[in-house]
Structure 1
Amino acid sequence: MRTLSALSLLSLAAPSLSQVALPSPPILPPPAASGAVASATSKPNAQWSTLLNNLLYFYEAQRSGKLPSSNRVSWRNSSGLNDGSDIGKDLTGGYFDAGGYDEAKQTPYLDDMLRWGLDWMIKAHPESGSLVVQVGTGMCHSV
């Protein structure tokens, strides 16, 4: 099944769709004491860096369309370059989904996470031609 990221994100914002209920009891990450402890220092925590790298690499491997030269997934090539041409639209891009994610029981968390960000994006677009792109002082990440 091919998932188009823009359409998927927009469909989650549609008020007519009901939100997927979170599982009960919730599936929680391992406790911080098990090793993945966030670092408050300027030196990045190696475990968090590895986790983020693996997560981003996973999504890079799922990309469809003309892949950028920065693509790190050596076994992937551009694909789906004619998507939408049969209806006169450029629908290249997005991500592949081979299914099987439901078995991991993470769909409700994905739904909840995407809604959280999309709800904020809707609030950050208070009127036509206006978009809030930063809140706070801008000093959050200065060293």
Structure 2
Amino acid sequence: MSLTQAHLEIARALGVGIVPATDTPGAAELPVAEMIFSVAASWPREMQQQLAGSLEFVDTLSQNLFGEGVAQLDAYTLATFVELLADSADLRPFWVPFRTLVVLNYYGLPEGYEPLGLPGPSIDSGGFTADGEPAAAA
């Protein structure tokens, strides 16, 4: 089993539930899901299968609860569903890393960090010191 376009759509919809559009773009307006899948492409096949299986499980859960897959849920129902996922101890091994990847990828993009007044990623230039100043590049 490999990650498919259907898996990408589920991931994109979940991203919307985590970072919805407000006065700034949400996760759906940025390539957040695509960035996650780009990272997942480097994972061992077993980990990719776990991600695919988890996305399929979550989509089936959505269908069972709401009669529609995750990608078809309206904004209110999606927010409710994401809350259910976040509160489920059984889904924590999937949800916590997935949510973390969404947030890290979202706030790693200029549209995510600039409205907050953050300087953006600095890993290529040595990071930031404890006082918040850019470190000298090595």
Shorter chain as denominator, the TM-score bin is: under 0.3
Which protein has the bigger helix share? 2
* Higher Cα Rg, which structure: 1
- TM-score, length basis structure 1: 0.26
- TM-score, length basis structure 2: 0.27
